[in-house]
Amino acid sequence: MVDGCAVKVVDADRVSAVRERMPAAEDVTDTADVFGLLADPNRLRLLVALLDGELCVCDLAAVTGQSESAVSHALRLLRAHRIVAARRSGRMAYYRLEDPHVRMLLDVALAHTEHTEAIHPERDGRS
Amino acid sequence: MVDGCAVKVVDADRVSAVRERMPAAEDVTDTADVFGLLADPNRLRLLVALLDGELCVCDLAAVTGQSESAVSHALRLLRAHRIVAARRSGRMAYYRLEDPHVRMLLDVALAHTEHTEAIHPERDGRS
DNA sequence: TGTACATATGAACACCTCTTCAGATGAAGG
DNA sequence: CCTTCATCTGAAGAGGTGTTCATATGTACA
C-alpha cells in the first residue's frame, strides 16, 4: 500500500482511491492474457464454434476455414490455459469449451455483435 | 451460404449448423479487435482506472505506473476505437470510459478475477 | 506388420505491437 | 513575447505472435 512514484498528481484523492480498487498486478496480467487468447479471429471462431458443443479438429478446421495444423496449434494454446478440453476417441480428438468464464465473455461480446460493434479508426478518434 | 472447402468432415450436420450460427467475418474480426485492445496489461489498467470516472493523463500514468508517453499512445489507440473519450480543460485532458460494451466486458472479467482466474501453462495443457 | 489417417509438434519466417526517445503542439502566466 | 507545463506525436528498435511446411505420433484396419 506504499506509494512508489507519483511524480505529478492532480487529483491525489482519486488517484489513491483508484489505486485501492486496482486488482493485483498478477490478476491484471492474467485477465489481459485471457483477453489476448480471444483477440485472434481464428481462435475466436474456434471458440464460437464450440459454444454449442464439442467438435473434432477436422470439423473445426472446416467450420473456421483454417488449416488443420493452424487449428491444432490454436487448440494447443487454448488447452494450455484450460479454456478448452479434449476428449479422445480413437484417432479423433473432440474439443469442448471448458472455461465458463470465457463462455460468459463470449456471450457478452456476441450479444453486442448483432446490434452495435465496429468502429474502424479511419484516421483518428477525436470528436 | 455456399460451401467453400470442407475437405474432410466428420459430422456434416453439426458443421453446417455451426456455420449458420457463426457471425459474419467482419463481426468476428471486430470483436477480436476489441478483445485485443483489452489484452495489454497497461491498457487494461487504464480502463480499470477509468471505471469509476474520468482521470487526466498524468494521474492515469501515476495510477498505472507507466510513462506519460506510453499512456498517451495507449489512450490514442483506445480513443480511435471510441472506447475512451477525452474532455479538454486548458492544457489538461480528462479521459473517460465511453463504451458501455467494453465496460460490461471489464465487469465480467474483473468479477471473476477475485475468485478464480490464472492458469499458467507450466508445460502443457493435458489432463 | 504395414499402410492410411487424424492429430500433434518443431522450426522458421513474416508481421504486428509496445515501449522509449526526441521533439512538436498548444494553453497559461508572467 | 517567452517560458513552462500537459499532452501529443513520429520514428525506431526489441520482442512477441500466428502462419506454414515438414515431420512425428499413434490409432485403426487390412
A5 lies in some domain:
no
**Cβ of residue B36 closer than 8 Å to a chain A Cβ:** yes
What does the pLDDT read at residue B112? 87
C-alpha separations of B40 from A39, A49, A69, B26 in Å: 11, 25, 27, 22
B69 touches strand D (CB under 7 A): yes
Confidence check: pLDDT of A5 > 70 = no
Q: Report yes or no on B24 lying in a domain.
A: no
pLDDT attached to residue A44: 98
Helices (H) and strands (E) in chain B — how many of each? Answer: 6, 3
Structural domain contains residue A47: yes
Classify residue B85: in a domain, yes or no.
yes
Residue A9 scores a pLDDT above 90: no
Length of chain B: 127
Which pLDDT does position B10 carry in this prediction?
A: 87
Q: Is residue B22 part of a domain?
A: no
Mutation target among B29, B51, B113 for the A interface, most CBs of A within 10 A? B113
Say whether pLDDT at B117 is over 90.
Answer: no
User: What CATH number did the domain enclosing B57 receive?
Assistant: 1.10.10.10
Q: What is the ipTM of this complex?
A: 0.89
Number of structural domains, chain A?
Answer: 1
Domain of residue A100 covers 32-113
Q: Is the CB of B86 under 7 A from strand D?
A: yes
Cβ atoms of A47 and A33 closer than 8 Å: no
- Site from B31, B42, B102 to mutate, A interface, most A CB atoms within 10 angstroms: B31
CA A123 to chain centre: 27
The residue with greater pLDDT, A5 or A26, is A26
The C1' atom of C17 and the CA atom of A90 lie apart, in whole Å, by 41
Q: How far apart are CA B120 and CA B127, in angstroms?
A: 14
- Report which of B55, B127, B122, B118 is spatially closest to residue B84, judged by C-alpha positions: B55
Quote the CA–CA distance of B116 and B119 in Å, as a whole number.
Answer: 9
What pLDDT, on a 0 to 100 scale, did the predictor assign at position A112?
87
| Distance separating alpha carbons of residues A54 and A34, to the nearest angstrom | 21
Q: If you average pLDDT over every residue of chain A, what do you get?
A: 88
Q: What are A87's three cell numbers? A: 476428449
Q: For position A120, what pLDDT does the model report?
A: 66
State residue B48's pLDDT score.
98
- Does any domain span residue B88? yes
Quote the pLDDT of residue A113.
Answer: 84
Cβ distance B5 to A62 less than 8 Å, yes or no, reads yes
Residue A87 lies in a domain: yes
Q: How far is B96 from chain A (nearest CA, A)?
A: 13
User: What pLDDT digit, counting tens, does each position of B77-102 carry?
Assistant: 999 999 999 999 999 999 999 999 99
Q: Does the residue A43 lie in any domain?
A: yes
Q: Is the CB of A40 under 7 A from strand D?
A: yes
Q: What is the reported pLDDT for A114?
A: 74
Mean pLDDT for B95-120 is 87
Start-end of H helices in A8-99: 12-21, 25-37, 41-50, 57-64, 68-80
Do B78 and B33 contact (CB within 8 A), yes or no? no
Q: Which residue has the higher pLDDT, A56 or B122?
A: A56
